[in-house]
Structures are given as C-alpha cells and as structure tokens.
Amino acid sequence: MIEPFDAVDLIKAKRDGDTLSTPQLDWLVDAYTRGVVGDEQMAAWAMAVYLRGMESREIRDLTLAMIASGERMNYRGLSKPTVDKHSTGGVGDKITLPLAPLVAVFGVAVPQLSGRGLGHTGGTLDKLESIPGWRAALTNEEFHAQLESVGAVIAAAGSGLAPADRKLYALRDTTGTVECIPLIASSIMSKKIAEGTASLVLDVKFGSGAFLPDPEMGRRLAETMVQLGKDAGVATVALQTNMQTPLGHAIGNGNEVRESVEVLAGGGPADVVELTLALAREMLDLAGKPDADPAAALADGRAMDVWRRMIVAQDGDPDAPLPQAPESETVVAERAGVLVAQPALPYGIAAWRLGAGRARKEDPVSHSAGIDLHVKIGETVEQGQPLFTMRTEDPARFGRAREALDGAWTIADPGTPVQDGGPLVRDVIR
C-alpha cells in the first residue's frame, strides 16, 4: 500500500507552525494505529503540537480521527436518557462514587467508563476494587443490562474504544507532552464521545492538586472540550472546580469508598456533598430533568438504595468491611491557631508513596493505604490536636510520605488570610 502522506512532512509542518488538513490528520492517526507511523515519529509530532499548538478545527479533526480508530458505543433501545461525567482528577476526588447512583435515582442512565490512578491522582476503579467481590470488567451485554435495570454503571473501558488515544496517551506520559491543551482535550473527548452518551458534564479542576494548576489554562481546556462535545452532537457543560486543597477528608482507596457511603447516607464532608450536588444538578438538567431534587435523594436514602444495587450487580458486597491498614502514624499540630494552608498536591503524593497509588500502569495498589484528614483548611486547632493520620501496609513507606508532606500545612494566628483558592465551583462553561 502506498501511503498518501509522509510522517516526516507532517512533523515538519507542525514544527514550523503550519496547520494540518483533515485528510492529513485522519491519515496520521490511522497510520499510527496501524504501526506505519512509529512511536518516535508520533513523539516528535506531539512535541511540535506542544510547542506550536493547534487550531480549533485541527483539534476537532484529531478528536474525530481518534474516535474513528475504534468502536463507538450506542444506547439504542435503552428506555432512559444517558448522561456521563468526567473529572480531570485530583486529590480525594471520589465524586463519581456517590454521583452516579444519585443521578440514576431520577430515571437517568449513567454509563461511567472509568480508569485507574497514576501518580498522585486516584483512580475510580482502584477505589471500587476495595469492595470485596466487586469487578470492573463487564461485557457490553452486562453493561447495557445494568444500565436498564439499575441506571448506573461504573466499569472499565474496553480496549476497542479510541485505541489511537490509548497509544498516544502512553507516549505523551513518557515524552513530556502531557500538559498540552489540544492533546488533553482530544484524548478526553475522543473517549467520552466514543462511549456514546447523549450528554456530558465535565469537572475541570485547577489548583495545587490539579492536572493543570493554573485556572486560566483550566478554563481554556474546559472551553475547548465543551466545543468538541457540541461539534460531535453531545450536549456538554463544564464546571471549573477548585483543587487547591484536598476534597473531603479521605485520600486513598478504601477510605474514599467509606466517605462516599457517608455522603450517600446523608452525611459526609460539606465540600464533597456540595460538588456532588452541583454536578448532579447539571447532569439532570442535560438529561431533561431540571426539576429533580438530588439533595432530597441523598437525605431520604434513595441514592443509597441505587448504590447498593449497583455494587451487587457487579458482584460486590456493599455490607463487607473495607480493608484496614495495619500500620498508622498521626501528625499533630505543633501550635494553636488556624489552618490557613493545606495544598492538595503533597497529600496526593504522600498517599501514593504510602501505597494508594502507582508509578506505572502495571503496578498494584494498596486498598487500605492512604491519609485521613482530621482538620480542614480554615478550621481552628489546638496544640497537640491530630491534623491527619497516614495508613499503610508497610511501615517503611512512612519516611518518604513524611518527606512529601514537609511544609504541606500552615497554622497561623486568627485573622491570617486562608489560602483555599476561592469558592469550590469557580465557573460554569456552557
């Protein structure tokens, strides 16, 4: 087969700031998927994009080409409207767990294909696998049946969805081209559009623990993804949310499940509840249920009922005890005052080093390792009061976790400005 384009020409074109045509981008993605374009060539092209950027039409073409590289799911025959949610990830971000069953209460199907954690950001599947018996891998038939009967599914994505993105994502991770809005936007949206949902709510985070700490970069990413969704016929809204400090009190796997169940029981940390409800309202609005009251469904137990059915449907035991780490170490306040700084990133790194995360995709995770915060930013503390507890299966891990947390909190006199990054929801992009 004679190839219509040459990879070197496309690399040079992007290196020199030129735009690529739709046929060129279609060919590049297809040829990379087939192995005609090598990793070293795609790495050079990705770096050129990182340095030179892409026009909106190019980003759209790249996204559509990655969707076309694999299968596209559909929910024809489903009796309910579909809406999905995607978060760009952070520290203590367990929102998917209470959110999916909460939205499903109102006769809306939530087909949530989730991933595993890498580095300091946790993975939804890792958290749910803390529940004895629960399984992430479902057949398409099981997936559809559970959507119809329960309304909420959180499962692993199959290898057939956007395989070009899977290759390119792994390459970006090893070539310094991760923090690139055209490549991030096309990666996320190619998978989400291929999942076949009719509508989508994006949770795009900024702050210390976020993928893109700078709020303006986060906003540009949100705007780009919302437009990509609309161009593909998927009703899309983005919330720009604050990840300057950890979300909730639990950072890890099993402990985040515990905290999610507390939210489903009508309790839980105020910030987790606030964000869960904010996202639920946007999802329900897109699904044609603007008058639904998600706060009532948390309070009266309906969301918990759906959670239990969702876990049982995937062979999990919602009543089984969650794993407990055998080793713990608590850090206390050295002085009295107000906790005025609690940047998220060090806590995410520390939880990872305690065993809750992984450095490589193939690494195992500990479902009992993590950190439980006893004090949140803005709260008053007394000298000797516990600030947080680290938990692990291997006490040798405490040393490096402590190193990550050096300087990760500040206690000051009352009246000192609090470095919390502002409101939890900064903006909504429609």
Residues belonging to the active site: 86, 165, 172, 187, 191
Least Cα distance to 114 among 132, 101, 127, 103 occurs for: 127
What's the token pair of residue 329? Answer: 């170490």
- For the residues of 354-381, what is the DSSP string, one character each? IIIS-SSTT----SS-EEEESS-TT-EE
Q: Which residue has the tokens 């939804």?
A: 124
Least Cα distance to 349 among 147, 120, 15 occurs for: 120
- For the residues of 76-125, what is the DSSP string, one character each? TT-SS-BEEEEE---SS--THHHHHHHHHTTT-BEEEEE---BTTB--HH
CB 347 within 8 A of CB 407: no
Rounded Cα distance, 186 and 174, in Å: 18
Helical (H) or strand (E) element with 226? helix 215-231
Amino acid at 385: Q
**What 3-state DSSP class applies to 200?**
strand
CB 346 within 8 A of CB 408: yes
CA 322, 127, 358, 38 torsion: positive or negative?
positive
Per-residue CA distances from 47 to 29, 80, 201, 326 (Å) = 15, 42, 29, 45
Dump strand ranges (E) for 174-312: 199-206, 235-242, 250-252
Question: Residue 2 class from Cβ within 10 Å (0-12 exposed, 13-18 middle, 19+ buried)?
Answer: exposed
Q: Go through the chain and tell me how many residues it has.
A: 430
CB 428 within 8 A of CB 238: yes
